[in-house]
Amino acid sequence: MENATREWTPSPDMFEPVGVMTQEADRISRPSHTYFQDARRRFMENRASVAGLILLILFVLLCVFGPLLVPYSYNTSDLSSANQGFSAQHWFGTDELGRDFWARVWTGGRMSIIIGLLAALMQAVIGILAGSAAGFLGGKVDQFIMRLVEFLMAFPYLVWVTLLMLITGAGFFPMVLALTLTGWLSMARLVRGQILSLKNEDYVIATQSLGADTRRIILKHMIPNTMGVIIINMTFAIPGAIFSEAFLSFIGIGIKSPMTSWGLLVSMGMKQIYTYPFRLLIPCVCISLTMLSLQLIGDGLRDALDPKLRR
């Protein structure tokens, strides 16, 4: 009888808010995502960045397959067909030597994009190695590298590129070399700052105490933890290299005819701006849209790879 008449006392857990319980259940049932899976999801949710990625893929496909869509080579002259407008035979018309402008535009885009990618990749390699050595080793190594960076950055970027191009001469490889030797500075400073913030982390100190050498610590532990900012910096370095190529070709010390690039087409189009303005407009639009797409992708990657925004 005593057990039957004992007053029932509710448990405090029964009064837990329904919202809290629902959130807890969602968190338990939600599948776990890695850092890069979450970054990819956030990037795909950014409509502007996805539009930039689609636009960049479209331009890359046109640069690769565009010249194959017409039966003309980019450097084949036909004076009887010179200075034609848009037509079914020549989609973008022809230039003053009768060369198909469609083939020249997309062959030039191929050249410009390849130069931008190679220059940005080589800038990243040199900048990562120099910045890692300066940040991790410190001392005289840091002083030497940073003083060199400050000296080179004291002059405008295009001044050094122009001087190097005048020394090495015009062409594909001299341009990539000139852009590389003057473009690694910002990457080095960025990586150095990241390394300085990571060198006192517990896992780095533990690795040092276990006897790992400097090269292994930098390559296996520190550089992978800076890949987010490195990728973002590269997406901004590529359009910078494309613009530099266009500028150098425009002033006559870059790509030379009969080879073509967007910068060279702009330079040649300026001479005929009043008679054939489309020859200037088309390569300018291609350069602008390519750089815009890379900037949008860089903005999206910057937000997607930010660990503070991870959910």
Give me the tens of pLDDT residue by residue for the chain, a chain 311 residues long. Answer: 455 555 555 555 554 555 545 555 455 445 566 767 777 888 888 899 899 999 999 999 999 999 999 888 888 888 888 888 888 888 888 888 888 899 999 999 998 899 888 988 998 889 988 988 888 888 888 899 999 888 888 887 778 887 887 787 777 888 888 888 888 888 888 888 888 887 777 777 777 777 777 677 777 767 777 777 788 888 888 888 888 888 888 877 778 877 888 888 888 888 888 888 888 899 999 999 998 998 898 888 877 776 655 55
Assigned token pair, 88: 């079914």
HSE at residue 251, side-chain half, CA atoms within 13 A, is 13
Partners of residue 100 on adjacent β-strands: 94
How far is the C-alpha of 206 from the C-alpha of 211, rounded, in Å? 9
- Residue 257, classified by CB atoms within 10 Å of its CB into exposed (0-12), middle (13-18) or buried (19+), is middle
How far is the C-alpha of 103 from the C-alpha of 69, rounded, in Å? 9
pLDDT value, residue 30: 52
How far is the C-alpha of 86 from the C-alpha of 94, rounded, in Å? 8
pLDDT value, residue 165: 78
Residue type, 182: T
Q: How many CB atoms lie within 10 A of CB 150?
A: 11
- Whether the CB-CB separation of 278 and 226 falls below 8 Å is answered with no
Assigned token pair, 12: 């405090």
pLDDT value, residue 1: 47
Q: Cα dist. 91→66, 69, 72, 100 in Å? A: 11, 10, 11, 8
DSSP structural state of residue 220: I
Q: How many CB atoms lie within 10 A of CB 207?
A: 17
Q: Give the number of residues written for the chain.
A: 311
Exposure string (b/e) for 111-149, b if CB count within 10 Å is 16 or more?
A: bbbebbbbbbebbbebbbbbbbbbbbeeeeebeebbeeb
- Whether the CB-CB separation of 301 and 234 falls below 8 Å is answered with no
> 3-state SS string over 117-171?
HHHHHHHHHHHHHHHHHHHHHCHHHHHHHHHHHHHHHCCCHHHHHHHHHHHHCCC
The alpha carbon torsion through 97, 261, 263, 274 (nearest 10 deg) reads 30
pLDDT value, residue 310: 55
DSSP structural state of residue 67: G
Partners of residue 94 on adjacent β-strands: 100
Cβ-proximal residues to 149 (8 Å cutoff; 6+ apart), any chain: 130, 185, 188, 189
pLDDT value, residue 206: 78
Cβ-proximal residues to 64 (8 Å cutoff; 6+ apart), any chain: 110
